[in-house]
């Protein structure tokens, strides 16, 4: 049995209609395994929507949460220690479109981990370079790694076998705890990969060469140029299996239209607080 693990916390976050892109596209992509949604404060009406898709909700202990984007890796580790799967996908929930079953071409009888390369290297990205600098700032000099020529790995899309993913989650989480400096789980992942990269278990799939995953960051940086064909984002010769960070790209409205989400924009009265997610938009379902 395979599993997809994701986190949805925060009242406003869980009500974000962009989550419907994740749930609706996943339900139609041919995936048949478990879907586990970790939360601690999801409202009852949103729970009913999630469970209506047949997905399982796992409660997180709120007393163990410091910063959920980091601590999710501890919760994943703890969960995968107690419940065993064949293969596991760790993925963000708000900005992922599934175009095919992401497990379809993955190995079945050998340990592996797939990382989603963004399409460029650290020297091409000021944001990732600065994030990595913070990650290594307090390390002894001999433990610092120059990641200039290392591919940028996306922190929100990782697929692999149960034990390998479980161990990786613990590595990422403990790396984040090492310093007071604030940096992302993506920086921790990229540093950890600089140590693991010579192990053949770990593979980086680049969007210029492989159709597994495309990221909006890579598209916006111009590291690769996909095509929108017949309602899907395509690589060189076939659609990508999943599209992460679609909401950051020029394809956003096309994705929303594909998923039956209609945006009707209107001027926002000055007396109302600004909309926090939808650019002064009303979202409705067809």
pTM: 0.88
The average pLDDT across 244-259 equals 94
Give the start-to-end residue ranges of the domains of the chain: 2-261
The average pLDDT across 245-272 equals 78
pLDDT higher than threshold 50 for residue 277: no
Confidence (pLDDT) at 263? 58
Which residues sit opposite 157 in a β-bridge? 91
**Average pLDDT value for the chain:** 90
* Least confident range of 81-90, 160-169, 219-228, 271-280: 271-280
pLDDT tens digits for 111-146?
999 999 999 999 999 999 999 999 999 889 999 999
Confidence (pLDDT) at 275? 42
Confidence (pLDDT) at 10? 87
Confidence of residue 286 (pLDDT cuts 50, 70, 90): very low
pLDDT tens digits for 65-75?
888 889 999 99
Structural class in CATH, domain 2-261: alpha beta
Nearest alpha carbon to residue 215 among 147, 151, 280 = 151
The average pLDDT across 200-225 equals 96
How far, in Å, CA of 96 to CA of 249, rounded?
A: 12
Confidence (pLDDT) at 101? 97
pLDDT higher than threshold 60 for residue 106: yes
pLDDT tens digits for 71-95?
999 999 999 999 999 999 999 999 9
């Amino acid at each position: 049995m395979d599993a997809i693990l994701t986190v949805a916390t925060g009242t406003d976050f869980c009500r974000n209609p962009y989550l419907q892109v994740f749930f609706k596209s996943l339900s139609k992509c041919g995936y048949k395994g478990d879907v586990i949604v970790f939360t601690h404060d999801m409202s009852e009406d949103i729970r009913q929507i999630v469970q209506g898709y047949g997905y399982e909700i796992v409660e997180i202990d709120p007393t163990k949460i410091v910063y959920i984007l980091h601590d999710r890796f501890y919760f994943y580790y703890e969960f995968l220690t107690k419940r065993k799967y064949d293969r596991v996908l760790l993925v963000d929930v708000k900005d992922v479109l599934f175009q095919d079953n992401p497990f379809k071409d993955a190995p079945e009888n050998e340990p592996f981990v797939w990382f989603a390369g963004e399409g460029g290297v650290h020297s091409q990205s000021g944001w990732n370079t600065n994030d990595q600098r913070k990650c290594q700032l307090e390390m002894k000099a001999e433990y610092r790694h120059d990641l200039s020529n290392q591919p940028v790995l996306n922190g929100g899309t990782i697929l692999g076998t149960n034990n390998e993913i479980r161990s990786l989650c613990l590595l990422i989480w403990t790396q984040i705890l090492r310093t007071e400096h604030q940096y992302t789980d993506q920086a921790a992942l990229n540093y950890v990969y600089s140590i693991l990269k010579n192990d053949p278990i770990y593979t980086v799939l680049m969007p210029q060469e492989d159709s597994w995953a495309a990221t909006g960051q890579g598209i916006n940086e111009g590291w690769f140029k996909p095509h929108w064909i017949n309602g899907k984002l395509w690589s060189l010769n076939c659609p990508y299996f999943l599209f992460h960070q679609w909401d950051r790209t020029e394809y956003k409205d096309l994705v929303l239209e594909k998923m039956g989400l209609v945006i009707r924009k209107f001027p926002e009265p000055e007396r109302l607080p600004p909309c926090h997610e939808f650019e002064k938009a009303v979202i409705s379902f067809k």
